[in-house]
Amino acid sequence: MFEFTITQESPKIKIGGGLYDVVIIGGGAAGLTTAIYTSRDGLKTLVLEREATGGLAATTELIENYPGFPDGINGAELLERFRKQAERFGAEIVEFDEVVKVNPLEKGKIEVHTQSGQVYTGKTVVIATGSRPKKLNVPGEKEFAGRGVSYCATCDGPFFKDKNVVIIGAGNSGLQEGLQVLEYAKHVTFLEFLPYTRAEHILQERVKRHPKSTLLFNQQVTAIVGDKTVTGVRAVDRETKEEHLYPADGVFIYVGYSPYSQFVADIVETNKWGYIITDEKMRTKVPGLYAIGDVRADNPAQLSVSVGDGAKAALALRDFILEL
pLDDT, tens digit, 9 for 90 and up, residues 268-284:
999 999 999 999 999 99
Q: What is the pTM of this model?
A: 0.81
**pLDDT band of 3, cuts 50, 70, 90:** very low
Domain residue ranges in the chain: 3-133+257-323, 149-253
- Summarize pLDDT for 208-217 with one digit per residue, the tens: 999 999 999 9
Could you tell me if 58 and 66 are in contact, meaning their C-beta atoms sit under 8 angstroms apart? Answer: no
Residues taking part in catalysis: 152, 155-156
Could you confirm whether domain 149-253 is CATH 3.50.50.60?
yes
**pLDDT band of 317, cuts 50, 70, 90:** very high
Could you confirm whether domain 3-133+257-323 is CATH 3.50.50.60?
yes
Residue type, 316: A
- Summarize pLDDT for 97-108 with one digit per residue, the tens: 999 999 999 999
**pLDDT band of 6, cuts 50, 70, 90:** very low
Q: Is 290 exposed, middle or buried (0-12, 13-18, 19+ CB in 10 A)?
A: buried
DSSP 111-152: EEEETTS-EEEEEEEEE---EEEPP---TTTTTTBTTTEES-
Q: What is the pLDDT of residue 74?
A: 93
Same fold, 3-133+257-323 and 149-253: yes
- Half-sphere exposure of residue 69, counting CA atoms within 13 Å on the CB side? 12
Could you tell me if 150 and 136 are in contact, meaning their C-beta atoms sit under 8 angstroms apart? Answer: no
- Summarize pLDDT for 147-200 with one digit per residue, the tens: 999 998 877 888 999 999 999 999 998 999 999 999 999 999 999 999 999 999
- Summarize pLDDT for 69-99 with one digit per residue, the tens: 999 999 999 999 999 999 999 999 999 999 9
Q: What is the pLDDT of residue 17?
A: 42
Q: Where are the beta strands (DSSP E) in 134-212?
A: 149-150, 164-168, 187-191
Q: What is the pLDDT of residue 61?
A: 79
Q: Residue 38 pLDDT > 70, yes or no?
A: yes
State the Cα–Cα distance between residues 204 and 3, nearest whole angstrom: 55
